Chain A
Amino acid sequence: MKTTVLVPELLVAGAAVGLFVAHRLGVVAGRWLASGALVATLVALGLELWLGGQIGTLFGGGWQQDRFSVFAKAAMLVGLAALIATGDWDSESLHEVLPLGFLAAFGGMVVASATNLVALWAGVELAGISGVAVAGILATGAGLRLLRVSVLASALITIGFAYLYAVTGASTLSGLRQTLVSEQLTLPLALISLLTLSGLAVRLGLTPFAAPTLERGISLTPVGSGVLHGLVAGAAALALAKLLSALYGTSPAWSLWLGGLATLAMVVGGLRATAVTAPRTLIAWLTVQQVGWVAAGLATHDRRGAAAALFLLVPLVLAATAGPLLSGAADSEPAGVAGLGRREPARAVGLGLVLLSLAGVPPLAGFFGEFTVAAELLRAGLGWVLACGLLGWLLGAAGVVRALWLMYLEPGPEEIRGQRGSRRPAVWAPGPLVPAVLVLAYGFFANPIHDLAVQGAAALGLR
């Protein structure tokens, strides 16, 4: 296989370094940096889809290109592109965080091509550290608190990986799978599997492990939240999918557990979505809910369920990354988005569609993903998970409608202050329309995307 297949990774890593250096030196204006970053991301995405059709390995089998890695990398790059396009290019925080966003995406790409536990660990930790660094740059206190949680997650993952290697003698994922299929499931093995997955669940933001990262993420600036809840969680989801395929032999230990966590996430996320009013918090809980659907798809521990989970992952990464940026400042109260439809129509459209997609409302991207997961849940005999998911779906949709109401039907703060009737010109910015178009267009291109997701799941080696 040709090494040109590595060009997208090099581009992303190089862009991270270049952005960091350029921002520190101040040699390039902010808007040029952001536009360059966007171009680099789009070029990397195009190259990945073009060059990624090759299947093979590099570095003696340590790096793999297959359909799963194409899909996974494309998902990360789409999320990254949405982050850049939606962000405020004049904002200082965006330029501080962008290099770390690229690093998080790079971590996800490493995960996508990982063939062994070391590479998998490296990718997850790179993404996780990027998330912590984002929090630390913007708010030291939040960063320290997140660091403690991250260290715990890292410890669980590291110990788990080490134990798995020790028990099976295999460091490659394929070797792990082959060994565990024939290995008798013991209590220690089961517990270690669960502990390892718990570490990944923290990174992913899966309830009840979501609490620490959720709270910290909401307190960050929008771009920081986007990196943490979108890109870092996306990388964790990819690692989860790869690890679960390797742990196929221990599926009796974790499938029910994962199904239970998924149920909890879907119901709790939906309930909290109806209770909160601040848009940032709403986005965070809807993200938790949709993460639950992804986990539910993976809990079926077969190829079709994994394909459905991957198919949902793209809308999740897209919406979770762009959502916080569309909702605005971290401390925005409900009044902050009241009347948004008149003040900033493009941002209102983008935020509305992203919220609806996170809630799984048709005909947007999230609905397509959740529907395919629902079909696979029933096929796999996990009707109880589906029932809870439907409840969460209804609740989440109700929460979103209230937010839409505020945006379009309630007067804005300036109107409340007695300036009703005075018309300020509406602000039209193109950036917020990018995620809106993507969540709308996802359904139209569902055929090839889902086809690639199915191939990706097959490449994981699941039956």
Chain B
Amino acid sequence: MTGANLLVATPLWAAVVNPSPSPSATPATFGANVIGFSFLLSLLVWGPAVMAVVIALVPNPRGRYERWFLGIAFWTSASVLALTLIAYQQFQVFTTGVQFEENLPWLPSIGVSYHLGVDGIGISMLLLSALVGLCAVIASWEVRERPRSYFVLLLLAEAAVNGTIAARDFFVLLLFWSAVAVPLALLVAGWGERPRAAGAAWRLLGYWGLSSAALLTAGLLLYQAAGGSDFAIDTLTHATPTGRLQVVIAALLLVAGISRLPLVPLHGWARAVWSEAPTGVALLTAGVASRLGGYLLIRVMAAGEHDASRTLAPILSGLAVLTVGYAALAALRSRDLRRLGAYLALIPGAVTALGVAGLSPLSLEGAVLSLFTGGLAAALVVGATAALAERAQTRSLATAAGLAGRAPKLAWLLVAGCLAVLCVPFLATFPAGLMIFLGSFRTQGPAALLLALGLVADAGVVAWMLHRVLFGAPNPDAPNPGDATLPQAWFLGILVGTLLWVGLVPGGPKLFGVPLFDPGLVNVVNTSTPDLSSPYAVPSPSAPGSSPSASPSPGTGPGTPTSPSAGP
């Protein structure tokens, strides 16, 4: 190699222009027939980060242009949502495999690549991230204290979440997984409600730092087991570590996932963060950043460590049951409105965990769907309680009472959020919950039953809370509450609208059987769940006279094209 060659580094921008060809059967070009460029995912990941830098550098003499920061953040999030919606609409539901793939060598000597791509699970998570990200910015409309720093950190967090979802290389996954924690912790510490904000931030860092360390260790062990040549997630999930090692890896992944999700006993950060953080940050954390825990459990643990997943499934389902029970008891004892919302927001994570623990095709599909729907529900309940506490000028349940008459919009939005976390029909959480319970009863029957009972208990708590806070007699000594402001109505309305949309047409709207603009979330996630769940498919009973081979049931084998279904 000559000296001239040494100076010729391989800038990332040059490699973006000349990406490696996508290995999927139908090359994923974003905007096919309109625009063809294959760096959509990089745009979704780095776009918010670049705009964060722009916000950091925009001159602001005497604080005259502070609303510009909000504007830049808003339009950035809106653009990300628009791009994601287009990608979602163009996502090909009749094929399996990764789409919108980008693959560039990064540290080839140790097998690290800048590898991005999405399948059905990924695109639904990206859509969730874009939606919740926009809602988080809208929820931050009234932030007046240090807005520059606030929106820089918010966009950086959004970028890191998108990077985690789109990552197909373990190094990239770990990089973004770990990078989410710092901006969120600073947001909680800097803009949360004093004096508990500091403690909440430290808890977030502690638990999420633990999850990062566990994930790093698990990934390195998988790397070794896979031959130490490649960090691609597909390679790592196809590694075959020995029995005990596989259990250790799966346990580490479990710790990493449930710390983020969260589940009891690694839930200590959630109540503090979701009740003390500013509304936008609580939304982002509850709605999508915590979903990454479930995403990890599905993407790596269930997809790769089949035997260990079966071994640990009872533990996971037990933790899910404990979480739902804890949520009910803690919510019942709570005297703080925002904390009550934080406890209720734990429920969707537990339902997702049950779906993963079920390890059946139906429960896994439900778990994937619940990543999206549960995130919306958790964000809605956290956001609604925060908005209500702010407009009622009190967080105390002893003070706030009978608010429905004076804050009807907020009241009904809170009701919708509470119903969503309980998996009530017509809301998006219902089909996901139904699939999870139906799929888990055979494999994790006691846990499924107990969790269902836990949901009933939570329903009782919700009813008590709604009666007390919304529909009971107003408290004459309480401050005069106001209804939702326009930004509050918007971000909560977006969340409710999405929950209703997916709940009513989970398979996408159709006109005389012809799919319209929405391919249907169930169809989208269905593209990747067959590959995911095929190792767990229960062999169909053999007919008399035929060979008793354990063949997967129709429609669940790998690479089986799926037909658009109308959902449950």
Contact = CB atoms under 8 A, between A and B. Distances in A.
B186 A394 contact: no
Interface of A: 46, 49-54, 70, 304, 307, 341, 345, 349, 356, 361-363, 367-368, 371-372, 374-375, 378-379, 386-387, 390, 393-394, 397-398, 401, 404-405, 408-409, 423, 425, 444-452, 454
Contacts of A387: 217
B6 A70 contact: yes
Contacts of A451: 108-109
Nearest to A367: B175
Given A372-B110, A378-B224, A408 B186 contact: yes
A390 B171 contact: no
Contacts of A349: 56
Given A53-B2, A54-B3, A401-B182, A363 B175 contact: yes
B486 interface: no
What 4 A-B pairs have minimum CB-CB distances, sorted nearest first?
A53-B3, A409-B190, A50-B3, A362-B175
A398 B205 contact: yes
Contact of A446 (B62, B106, B220, B221): B106
A459 to B, nearest CB: 12
A304 B110 CA distance: 9
Given A375-B110, A444-B12, 9 more contacts: A50-B7, A361-B179, A367-B178, A371-B174, A398-B205, A401-B205, A408-B186, A446-B107, A447-B108
Given A375-B223, A390-B213, A390-B216, A409 B1 contact: no
Interface in B188-226: 189-190, 202, 205-206, 209-210, 213, 216-217, 220-221, 223-224
Nearest to A455: B1
B7 A361 contact: no
B186 to A, nearest CB: 6
Given A408-B149, A409-B189, A398 B9 contact: no
B541 interface: no
A404 B186 contact: yes
Report which residue of A363, A368, A425 has the largest number of chain B beta carbons within 10 angstroms of its beta carbon: A363
B5 interface: yes
B10 interface: yes
B224 A361 contact: no
Contacts of A52: 3, 6
A304 B108 CA distance: 13
Given A49-B6, A451-B109, A401 B62 contact: no
B148 to A, nearest CB: 9
B243 interface: no
A297 B275 CA distance: 43
B476 interface: no
B423 to A, nearest CB: 36
A345 B60 CA distance: 12
Contact of A447 (B56, B106, B206): B106
B185 interface: yes
A53 B6 contact: yes
Main secondary structure of the interface of A (DSSP, over half): helix
A362 B10 contact: no
Interface string B117-141: 0000000000000000000000000
Contacts of B56: 345, 349
A54 B179 CA distance: 40
A444 to B, nearest CB: 5
Nearest to B228: A379
Given A447-B108, A451-B109, A362 B179 contact: yes
Interface string B90-132: 0000000000000001111110000000000000000000000
A53 B1 contact: yes
Contact of B149 (A341, A363, A450): A341
A401 B228 contact: no
Interface in B58-115: 61-63, 105-110
A397 B9 contact: no
B545 interface: no
A150 to B, nearest CB: 35
Nearest to A374: B220
Contacts of A361: 178-179, 182
B4 interface: yes
Contacts of A450: 107, 109-110
A255 B227 CA distance: 24
Contacts of B513: none
A459 B159 CA distance: 40
28 contacts: A49-B7, A50-B4, A53-B2, A53-B5, A53-B6, A304-B109, A341-B149, A356-B182, A361-B178, A362-B175, A371-B216, A375-B110, A378-B223, A379-B228, A390-B216, A394-B210, A398-B206, A408-B149, A408-B186, A409-B189, A444-B12, A445-B9, A445-B10, A446-B106, A448-B6, A448-B9, A450-B109, A454-B109
Nearest to B209: A394
Contacts of B5: 53
